[in-house]
Amino acid sequence: MATISALGIGSGFLNNELVDDLAEAQRRPVELRLDQREERTEARLSALGQIQNAVTELRLPARQLSDPTALRRFEGESSNSAVGVSVDSEEAGRGSFDVDVHQIARSHALASGTFADRDSTSVGTGDLTFQVGEESATITLDEDNSTLNDLANAINEGDFGVSASILDTGDGFRLVLNSDETGVANAISITADGDAALDDFNFNDEVQNLTETRAATDAELTINGVDITRSSNTVDGVVDGVTFELNDVTTTSAQVNITQDVQGATERVQNLVNAFNELQQMVNEFTEFDPDEGGSILTGDSAVRNTMNQIRRDLGQTVPGLEDSSVRSLADVGISTNFDTGELDFNTARFQEQLQSNPDDVAALFSNQGRTSDSQVEFVRSGSETQAGEYSINVEELATRGSFTGDALAETINIDENNNTFSLRLNDGNTAELVLSEGEFTREELVDEIRNQIADNPVIQASGDRLNVSLTDTNELEFVSARYGSESSVEIVDGQEDLGLTPGEGVVGTDVVGTIDGREAQGDGQVLFLGRDNGDASGIQVRVRGTETGNRGTVSFIEGVGSGIVDRVNSLVGEGGALSSRTDSLRDEIDSIQESRQDLNDRINAFRERLVSQFTAADQRISQFQNTGDFLSQQLAALAPNRDN
């Protein structure tokens, strides 16, 4: 840029101050417009950010309500501390139960005699075999490992359901044994096979050389007058979804009430209403219009208007799939729009009335739910792609279970040590050995004996699978897995000819085959499901029971308000959403303002340079005129005396 430090020397007025004034006169109007534009854009961006945050705040209460159990939660309360209660809301229902505890389950406790020393004196050598429930273990004591401490350590390290400790009584040391689990079935049995000293640890059906300090007992109680026995003080499976914790024997009945968490459900819905109302209040503030003062910062903003219209539509619609239900929309549960403010009014009394009268419909109003028209077809779950709608189900082949059928049995079967054992593998799991009691059995008695051995077999029980055994019409043993599908099988590993069991695989189960919404579905046991990219029904899973093939009715998927709001918020604030796009547009506008400021600076600098150049040239010309005038004045002054002469 040209220097202007000497401007005005010639003219006296074409100086730096004049250049600054002219440049400022050019800059100021444009700069004021840019400042106003930037201030308004930043204010709109801030307001829009607050609205976007308020929209995002809708997501949490909506997501909580989209959980199918959110409005069907149950609570348990006991009138007596002797009985505690816990509830699984997915299975429980309302109810009231009188519980009397006659005996609580206790673990077995035994104590040895007194030993003078715990670290050096031998307690005997040989084998001690422990039997605790299904667990069995043998501990061997030898000359190098036979003290009371050695025995206690071996028991604890064995991890077979018994804990050992040593008590110092003051007169000596005693070994104390406790079963880890309560109940008669977990009583401790010990058989010694060694020297005479080791016999002091015998405790079994024949010999009890240890002191029983606490007998193993089962829990005995009555629930509404029905006798119940359990090996544990945790009693479940008696009432669906309810677990009773027995803490002590009752002297008076414990009144256990299972009630619906109406207040909690009301609060969860109130949270959604509050979140929407906070959003509406903010929108009102930023979009209000006053005839005298004009509009607010976001008055007429299309992104805000469209956002509120979409959310209101989601909140006000009749939920697809509930058109014929007693509860179809939020208005039916006491949620309505206040037309003066645009906020939601919540009639909690109306909501609670509907929740208790129509719990399933109210739950479906807010959460995702599937319903089937066939009582023997169960909705299992939906997927992220599943759209609300009704879809047909057609079954071509039902799922079957794996089985093994033996040869015909004799009318009576003698079981002895030569034929009392066979082994099988269930569902390709571990091999389970079954040992039958010895004696003479009819066919029916043999079936009962095998059932008992299956029920007590630790391998089968540990697998979590079940195995059924029965007698066919032609007097053959038939083993059937309780599992359905291609992973269901029964294999005889080591057979027994007298039982008609020859080693080999039986018939493997098959998976269900069929269609959902006219599309070929996949089968997994009894579950029929559509994978991804299979249209609106993608992700739906149903469990098909019963004996009928062909048309099995329909499955309806209902997307409740909660899930709909979550999806709406994600679409509005996510990449490419209306609010996100509007925010990006305002940020681009601020960037554009900064570019305009830079352009203004460049133009003003260029303008200043032109002024300096023009003023410099004018100043030089004026200086020349001044110099010429001074010269002429000098010449004229020099001629003046000559004129006098």
Structure-block tokens of residue 514: 């069929």
- Of 169, 200, 55, nearest to 574 (Cα)? 55
Structure-block tokens of residue 62: 């909506």
Residue 369 confidence (pLDDT) above 90: no
Residue 355 confidence (pLDDT) above 60: yes
Give the span between the Cα atoms of 589 and 521, in whole angstroms.
Answer: 51
Question: What does the longest C-alpha to C-alpha distance in the chain come to?
Answer: 178
Beta bridge partners of 558: 369
Beta bridge partners of 165: 176
Structure-block tokens of residue 158: 């064995």
**Which regions of the chain carry the CATH code 2.60.40?**
401-505
CB burial readout 154-180, b (16+ within 10 A) else e? bbeeeebbbebeeeeeeeebbbbbbbe
More confident residue, 476 or 135: 476
Instruction: Kindly indicate the confidence band of residue 151, based on its pLDDT and cuts at 50, 70 and 90.
Output: very high
- Of 128, 231, 152, nearest to 185 (Cα)? 231
Look at the alpha carbons of 332, 392, 89, 314 in this order and tell me if their dihedral is positive or negative. negative
Residue 404 confidence (pLDDT) above 80: yes
Give the span between the Cα atoms of 600 and 30, in whole angstroms.
Answer: 8
In this structure, what are the phi and psi dihedrals at residue 616, rounded to the nearest 5 degrees?
-65, -45
What number is the average pLDDT over the span 203-223?
95
Express as a percent the part of the chain with pLDDT over 90: 60
Q: Domain 401-505: which topology?
A: Immunoglobulin-like (2.60.40)
Q: Structure pTM?
A: 0.65
3-state class of 489 per DSSP?
coil
CATH C-level class of 107-217:
alpha beta
Tens-place pLDDT, residues 478-510 = 999 999 999 999 999 999 999 999 999 999 999
**Which regions of the chain carry the CATH code 3.30.70?**
107-217
| pLDDT value at residue 148 | 95
More confident residue, 147 or 44: 147
Give the span between the Cα atoms of 74 and 128, in whole angstroms.
Answer: 50
Task: Give the CA angle between residues 548, 549, 551 to the nearest 5°.
Answer: 105
What number is the average pLDDT over the span 29-33?
83
What number is the average pLDDT over the span 414-421?
92
Q: Measure CA 519 to chain center.
A: 30
What number is the average pLDDT over the span 297-310?
87
| pLDDT value at residue 641 | 63
Instruction: Kindly indicate the confidence band of residue 593, based on its pLDDT and cuts at 50, 70 and 90.
Output: confident
